[in-house]
């Protein structure tokens, strides 16, 4: 996977259709010196959620200067009208407002809209906010304070899911990862270990990583950015307080990204960051997911797989796995062992946080260290 291409940040005036009071070259320069935090908000047909979202921004207890930077990505509802209706209340509260957008027949996509909102903004720090989510009053203050202490970090937070109980295992994963696991579990199917709607970082760090991918629908721009952050030496960090109501609904952009797209990106990143450093390894799971991972590896990394391991006696009794689809002759065969007989390091292709905690018990029994002796991939 290629790093995000470097793009020149354009001024809001270049993009046109920007409305904000008191703008000018001198005003822009002064704003860049004085705005502490820009809230970056892409909008597409979000009218039904905007009241709660904007009211929460208005109620932030942050004492520094704030700006709301919104890019309306071809909404066909009255989102733009609602946004403009909140301008005066925001400005009365001391929050400057920049709103722009376009009315093309097709939206440019989440990455495109976020880039536009960043480009026209002026804050030294960026607080990313989805239009369908709700900030807690202390969000900007606590993430800003944390960012000052952790300059090279992408700051996240714990979340409260709405409706309550939706995506229960995913929400528990978001909220329970340790700081070390924010890095070691970057290869799991859940995506970025600090979730995009909670992101907060310095403008300097954002520009170092590069803008979001703008290919649009079906592209996980947040995951691509997160991987590039790690490549650049940046780190995820989480404020261990719930600072966002994270809404789940069927219209969310994340539903447009297929599992196969995510799978391929994850495999490539795992090979780049982990498997390239190992001479050999064992895949923990001789079933469907473990075999799929093996088949998707490069030939070089397939040759590094010394065994599959499992707890299922039926799989273990087969003794070996034959890669029938391989063009090699003879066809590659890989031993299947009981996990207690296998040796690390391991790539774990078993679901996390399943009832009973059997996987976790088995890993603990071998006294293995996550991030050194094994990485989770499922």
For 134, phi then psi, to 5°, come to -130, 120
Under the banding of pLDDT at 50, 70 and 90, the label for residue 148 is: very high
As given in the structure block, the two tokens for residue 266 are 């994850």
pTM of the model: 0.90
Q: In what order do the strands lie in the sheet with 66-73?
A: 95-102, 66-73, 37-43, 125-128, 200-202, 153-162, 235-247, 134-135
Q: Residues 6 or more apart from 130 whose CB is under 8 A from it?
A: 41, 42, 53, 196, 197, 247
Q: What is the pLDDT of residues 251-273, one digit of tens each?
A: 665 567 999 999 999 999 999 99
8-state DSSP, 98: E
Q: What is the pLDDT of residues 5-22, one digit of tens each?
A: 444 444 343 444 555 544
186 close to 230: Cβ distance less than 8 angstroms: yes
The position carrying tokens 């009053």 is 137
Average pLDDT over residues 273-291: 97
Res. 230: pLDDT tops 50: yes
Q: Strands, E, within 219-329: which ranges?
A: 235-247, 281-284, 305-310, 320-322
What sign does the CA torsion over 141, 145, 147, 151 have? Answer: positive
Q: What is the pLDDT of residues 73-109, one digit of tens each?
A: 999 999 999 999 999 999 999 999 999 999 999 999 9
Return the axis-axis angle of helices 259-273 and 221-231, rounded to nearest 10°: 0
How far apart CA 104 and CA 91 sit, in angstroms, is 29
Res. 189: pLDDT tops 50: yes
Q: Residues 6 or more apart from 246 whose CB is under 8 A from it?
A: 133, 159, 160, 161, 162, 171, 195, 197, 198
Q: What is the pLDDT of residues 151-173, one digit of tens each?
A: 999 999 999 999 888 899 999 99
How far apart CA 31 and CA 44 sit, in angstroms, is 27
As given in the structure block, the two tokens for residue 132 are 């369908």
3-state secondary structure at position 32: helix
- Computed over every residue of the chain, the mean pLDDT equals 91
As given in the structure block, the two tokens for residue 51 are 């009241």
Residue of 198, 205, 230, 200 lying closest to 152 (CA atoms):
205
Strand partners, 158: 242
Q: What's the pLDDT score for residue 10?
A: 40
Cβ neighbourhood burial of 261 (10 Å; 0-12, 13-18, 19+):
middle
Under the banding of pLDDT at 50, 70 and 90, the label for residue 183 is: very high
Give CA separation, 264 vs 187, 268, 291, in Å. 11, 6, 15
Q: Strands, E, within 163-207: which ranges?
A: 200-202
């Amino acid at each position: 996977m290629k790093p995000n291409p470097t793009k020149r940040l354009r001024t809001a005036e270049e993009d046109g259709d920007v409305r904000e009071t008191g703008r000018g070259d001198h005003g822009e320069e002064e704003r860049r010196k004085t705005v502490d935090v820009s809230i970056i908000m892409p909008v597409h047909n979000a009218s039904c959620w905007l009241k709660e979202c904007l009211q929460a921004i208005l109620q932030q207890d942050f004492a520094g200067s704030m700006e709301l930077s919104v890019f309306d990505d071809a909404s066909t509802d009255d989102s733009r009208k609602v946004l403009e209706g909140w301008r005066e209340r925001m400005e009365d509260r001391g929050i400057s407002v920049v709103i722009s957008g376009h009315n093309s027949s097709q939206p440019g996509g989440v990455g495109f809209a976020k880039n536009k909102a960043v480009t026209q903004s002026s804050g030294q720090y960026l607080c990313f906010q989805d239009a369908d989510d709700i900030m807690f009053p202390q969000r900007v203050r606590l993430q800003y304070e944390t960012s000052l202490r952790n300059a090279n970090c992408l700051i996240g937070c714990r979340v409260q899911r709405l409706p309550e109980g939706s995506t229960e295992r995913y929400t528990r994963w978001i909220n329970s990862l340790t700081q070390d696991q924010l890095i070691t579990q970057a290869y799991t199917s859940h995506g970025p270990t600090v979730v995009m709607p909670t992101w907060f970082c310095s403008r300097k760090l954002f520009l170092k990583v590069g803008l979001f991918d703008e290919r649009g629908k079906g592209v996980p721009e947040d995951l691509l950015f997160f991987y590039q952050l790690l490549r650049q030496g940046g780190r995820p960090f989480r404020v261990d307080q719930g600072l966002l109501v994270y809404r789940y609904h069927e219209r969310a952009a994340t539903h447009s990204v297929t599992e196969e797209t995510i799978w391929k990106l994850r495999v490539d990143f795992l090979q780049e960051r982990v498997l390239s450093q190992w001479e050999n390894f064992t895949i923990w799971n001789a079933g469907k997911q473990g075999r799929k991972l093996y088949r998707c590896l490069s030939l070089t990394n397939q040759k590094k797989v010394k065994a599959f391991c499992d707890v299922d006696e039926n799989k273990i009794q087969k003794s070996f796995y034959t890669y029938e689809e391989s063009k090699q002759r003879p066809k590659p065969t890989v031993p299947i062992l009981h996990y207690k007989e296998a040796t690390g390091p391991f790539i774990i292709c078993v679901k996390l946080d399943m009832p009973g905690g059997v996987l976790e018990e088995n890993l603990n029994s071998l006294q293995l260290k996550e991030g050194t002796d094994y990485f989770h991939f499922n």
